[in-house]
């Protein structure tokens, strides 16, 4: 699925402060390399039902065996292994005997200590990879998992001659230790780097499986459909502490959701929740929902957090127009897109915004091969759109009790005509501050 940086930013998939991002929330990788691999997976969403379901099966299988995961490989282990290949040390003898081993230890004492320390971590890493290979090996293993485990087994067989018979490097005599250190540094470098990459992949999958259990996420059902579809129950925003679930459906018969509601009623949160769930589904992840059924999308674009560009001299409204233009260029390619638009044309006056919004919506309604969610304060234009059969109108209700706003964040069919900006201004004491000036 194709995404751009704007969409990833709008959905908070990545953020400067990781704890406020989807990536930061779901990252449970043990090592830095596993973390980087998980980030890479999120940057490259999958493009077919088979690819997605293969990863889903992989995560399920790893989750079932998570309790047996090796404790031998830590972030420190990975760091020591990687640094061993870059250390400056005297040449290690390939076939040391007792005399040459003792000579090396005496005359290259610091280098011998580094070799001994590094060999221990290399040994633990190899042993840990053997444990993972044995833990995860199964005739029913998913295709991606089988591929990694097969490559891992082929590489590990080359280490048997240097590690068999020893439980740890502490049991190795000086000759065996130097022989093992020589083998790893000079003859196993490429294979070790391949093993490190395989572990990063396994660690990323393992972290994803842990996150699925930790946050009680649900695997979505992927359908091979010629037209896009989203059907969700209990879908919620994963970054909220106490989220409210949404039920929603978009399909060929109603492929445009027209969303209204007051400020703070929940429109933006809903749009982002849908986008995040669809995004995670295309990464093979489970999603924050009770149920999600969807087709595979070719791409997703959002128009949520637009800004002006002072350096380029571009106004807020100009950037909105450019984003709409880019969206139209994408959806006209005949592929399946999910388009998320929050408060279209905020950068101009109401009359202009209504005219522009109506023109854009009526144009997008012609695009049957994509799905659209658009929120707006301009509820008046809903009347002009009632004649279209493929648009559904929903809103978030706001109630007033004792002069106070109450939000239930429940998505309802219909159009909201709430105008509560002044009440919010008054409740926050701003009106009185202005009167007291």
For 53-82, the three-class secondary structure string (H helix, E strand, C coil) is HHHHHHHHHHHHCHHHCCCCCCHHHHHHHH
- The pLDDT tens digits for 122-176 are 999 999 999 999 999 999 999 999 999 999 999 999 999 999 999 999 999 999 9
CA–CA distance, 194 with 200 (Å, rounded to integer): 10
- The pLDDT tens digits for 102-132 are 999 999 999 999 999 999 999 999 999 999 9
Strands 404-413 and 391-401 turn out to be antiparallel
CA–CA distance, 395 with 352 (Å, rounded to integer): 23
* 9-18, 60-69, 256-265: range with highest mean pLDDT: 60-69
Residue 25 belongs to some domain of the structure = no
- The pLDDT tens digits for 318-347 are 888 888 898 999 998 889 999 999 988 877
Residue 312: pLDDT band with limits 50, 70, 90 = very low
Residue 421: pLDDT band with limits 50, 70, 90 = low
Q: Which of 214, 249, 276 is the last residue of a domain?
A: 214
Please, how many CA atoms are within 13 Å of residue 245, restricted to the half-sphere of its CB? 12
Mean pLDDT of the chain: 92
Q: Are 324 and 331 in contact (CB under 8 A)?
A: no
Q: Which of 175, 197, 214 is the last residue of a domain?
A: 214
Q: Which of 176, 199, 214 is the last residue of a domain?
A: 214
If one counts every other C-beta atom within 10 angstroms of the C-beta of residue 28, the result is 20
Residue 404 belongs to some domain of the structure = yes
Do both 195 and 273 map to the same domain? no
Residue 169 belongs to some domain of the structure = yes
Do both 407 and 391 map to the same domain? yes
Residue 422: pLDDT band with limits 50, 70, 90 = low
Do both 264 and 331 map to the same domain? yes
Do both 354 and 414 map to the same domain? yes
Q: What is the pLDDT of residue 308?
A: 46
Q: What is the mean pLDDT of residues 279-307?
A: 93
Q: What is the pLDDT of residue 423?
A: 66
CA–CA distance, 267 with 304 (Å, rounded to integer): 11
Do both 227 and 204 map to the same domain? no
Do both 325 and 397 map to the same domain? yes
CA–CA distance, 141 with 274 (Å, rounded to integer): 31
- The pLDDT tens digits for 382-392 are 999 998 999 99
CA–CA distance, 152 with 134 (Å, rounded to integer): 11
Do both 148 and 279 map to the same domain? no
Do both 229 and 161 map to the same domain? no
Residue 229 belongs to some domain of the structure = yes
Q: Are 409 and 244 in contact (CB under 8 A)?
A: yes
Q: What is the mean pLDDT of residues 296-300?
A: 97
Split into its structural domains, the chain has a count of: 2
Percent of the chain residues topping a pLDDT of 70: 95
DSSP 309-374: BTTTTB-HHHHHHHHHHHHHHHHTTSS-EEEEEESTTTTS-HHHHHHHHHHHHHHHTT-TTSEEEE
Residue 111 belongs to some domain of the structure = yes
Do both 208 and 253 map to the same domain? no
Residue 81: pLDDT band with limits 50, 70, 90 = very high
Q: What is the pLDDT of residue 275?
A: 98
Percent of the chain residues topping a pLDDT of 90: 77
Q: What is the mean pLDDT of residues 294-305?
A: 94
Is the pLDDT at 47 greater than 80? The verdict is yes
Residue 12 belongs to some domain of the structure = no
Q: What is the pLDDT of residue 434?
A: 76
Is the pLDDT at 314 greater than 70? The verdict is no
Range of the domain at 165: 31-214
Beta bridge partners of 222: 294
Do both 177 and 225 map to the same domain? no
CA–CA distance, 226 with 165 (Å, rounded to integer): 58
Do both 132 and 92 map to the same domain? yes
Q: Is the model's pTM score more than 0.85?
A: yes
Check which CATH number belongs to the domain holding 228 and give it. 3.40.50.300
Do both 283 and 407 map to the same domain? yes
Q: What is the pLDDT of residue 313?
A: 42
CA–CA distance, 265 with 219 (Å, rounded to integer): 28
- The phi and psi torsions of 136 (rounded to 5 degrees) equal -95, -15
CA-to-CA separations, 30 to 123, 192, 197, 199, 206, in angstroms, rounded: 19, 19, 14, 10, 9
Residue 18 belongs to some domain of the structure = no
* 2-16, 187-201, 394-408: range with highest mean pLDDT: 187-201
Q: Are 348 and 309 in contact (CB under 8 A)?
A: no
Residue 13 belongs to some domain of the structure = no
Least confident of 26-30, 106-110, 240-244, 406-410: 406-410
**What does the DSSP 8-state code read for residue 185?**
I
The dihedral built from the CA positions of residue 84, 90, 96 and 102, taken in this order, carries a sign that is negative
């Amino acid at each position: 699925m194709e995404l751009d940086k704007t969409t990833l930013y709008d959905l908070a998939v990545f953020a400067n402060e990781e704890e406020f991002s989807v990536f930061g929330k779901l990252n449970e990788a043990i090592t830095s390399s596993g973390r980087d691999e998980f980030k890479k997976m999120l940057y490259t969403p999958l493009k077919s039902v088979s690819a997605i379901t293969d990863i889903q099966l992989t995560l399920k299988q790893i989750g079932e065996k998570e309790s047996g995961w090796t404790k031998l490989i830590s972030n420190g282990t990975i760091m020591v292994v990687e640094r061993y290949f870059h250390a400056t040390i005297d040449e290690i003898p390939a076939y040391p005997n007792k005399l040459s081993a003792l000579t090396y230890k005496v005359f290259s004492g610091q280098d011998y200590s580094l070799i001994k320390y590094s060999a221990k971590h290399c040994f633990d890493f190899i042993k840990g990879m053997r444990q993972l290979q044995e833990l995860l090996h199964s005739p029913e293993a998913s295709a991606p998992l089988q591929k990694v485990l097969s490559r891992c087994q082929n590489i590990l067989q080359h280490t048997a001659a240097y590690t068999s018979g020893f439980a740890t490097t502490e049991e190795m005599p000086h000759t065996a230790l130097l022989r093992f250190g020589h083998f790893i540094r000079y003859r196993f470098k490429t294979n070790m780097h391949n093993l490190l990459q395989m572990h990063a992949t396994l660690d990323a999958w393992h972290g994803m499986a842990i996150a699925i259990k930790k946050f009680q996420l649900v695997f979505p059902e992927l359908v091979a459909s010629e037209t896009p579809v989203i059907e969700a129950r209990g879908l919620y925003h994963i970054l909220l502490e106490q989220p409210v679930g949404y039920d929603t459906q978009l399909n060929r018969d109603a492929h445009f959701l027209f969303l209204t509601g007051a400020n703070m009623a929940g429109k933006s949160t809903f749009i982002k929740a849908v986008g995040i769930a669809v995004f995670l589904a295309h990464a093979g992840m489970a999603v924050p929902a009770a149920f999600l059924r969807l087709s595979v999308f070719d791409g997703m674009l959002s128009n949520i957090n637009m800004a002006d560009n002072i350096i380029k001299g571009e106004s807020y409204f100009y950037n909105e127009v450019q984003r709409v233009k880019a969206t139209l260029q994408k959806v006209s390619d005949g592929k399946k897109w999910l388009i998320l638009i929050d408060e279209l044309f905020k950068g101009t006056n109401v009359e202009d915004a209504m005219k522009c919004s109506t023109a854009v919506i009526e144009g997008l309604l012609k695009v049957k091969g994509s799905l659209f969610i658009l929120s707006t304060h301009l509820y008046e234009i809903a009347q002009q759109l009632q004649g279209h059969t493929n648009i559904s109108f929903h809103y978030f209700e706001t109630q007033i009790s004792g002069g106070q706003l109450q939000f239930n964040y429940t998505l309802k069919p219909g159009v909201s005509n709430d105008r509560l900006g002044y009440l919010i201004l008054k409740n926050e004491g701003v009106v009185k501050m202005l009167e007291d000036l």
